[in-house]
Amino acid sequence: MTAPFGARLHAAMAARGPLCAGIDPHAALLAEWGLPDTVSGLERFALTATEALAPHVAALKPQSAFFERFGSAGVAVLERVLATAREAGTLSVLDVKRGDIGSTAQGYADAYLDPASPLAADAMTASPYLGVGSLGPVVETARRHGGGVFVLALTSNPEAPLFQQARTAEGTTVAGAVLDALRGLNAGEQPLGSFGAVVGATIGETGEDLDVGGPLLVPGLGAQGGTPEDVRRIFGRSVELVLASSSREILRAGPDAGALRDAALRTAEGLAALRGTR
């Protein structure tokens, strides 16, 4: 059986630093690279970025929506991106933010976490807002295949507090309940659990306990305004759990592969002080 995702991610972060590079081929970036907003432009962009960045980062995070907008041809490119990352020995986190119940949740889990699927990744993102328990099929499929799940907890969008900071009947916030559930899923796992939280780099101060015993996927670094200093301030003693994600800041260095690599290495260097020993 494949080693658990948490153990594999811990090793990758120790070797390459805590950087996850986003593969976000949206129309504006294609234009910046001088590429058409077509499947051929998508393929050139996504594979160039994947091949350039894979050897230098702990993980790659393709955003599924930017591939899906081209229909089946775009999804085929996504399959190639995931296969290329796998061949390079780089972990992949597929950003799909799926959340449903019962057999539908199982279908998503099979699509993104079962190695038999052409869309299989090492981990996926998921939404808990039908109840954390609704993610049961995703969690169990991840356990069975050594995969990981990053669950939305504290995101940076301005609408988020309406849901995430709402209070449950027990008095905790919804975000706090999600974090508590993740602590339970990761209990006893060493060196790192496989079930992580998504926490934005620009959320500001929070009173939540962010140590879930698993990784913290932290988007928003770079072009969205997040800095390594913000990460240190927000995450405090949990900072060594952080897998910081940067997309546009790195991708704007393309299309030259060397420039993409250098941008990733600069970002990783800025994050180097975040990595401790757990």
Q: Which residues are catalytic?
A: 97
- For residue 231, the 8-state DSSP code is H
Contact 53, 260 (CB under 8 A): yes
Interatomic CA distance for residues 142 and 108, integer angstroms: 11
Contact 46, 77 (CB under 8 A): yes
The pair of structure tokens assigned to 164 is 């995430």
Angle at 7 between CA 198 and CA 193, to 5 degrees: 45
Q: Which helix (H) or strand (E) holds 266?
A: helix 257-271
The sign one gets for the Cα dihedral 114, 118, 121, 127 is negative
Whether the upstream peptide bond of residue 215 has omega within 30° of 0, thus cis, is no
DSSP codes of every residue in 88-112? TT-EEEEEEEE---HHHHHHHHHHH
The pair of structure tokens assigned to 88 is 């390079």
Interatomic CA distance for residues 172 and 165, integer angstroms: 9
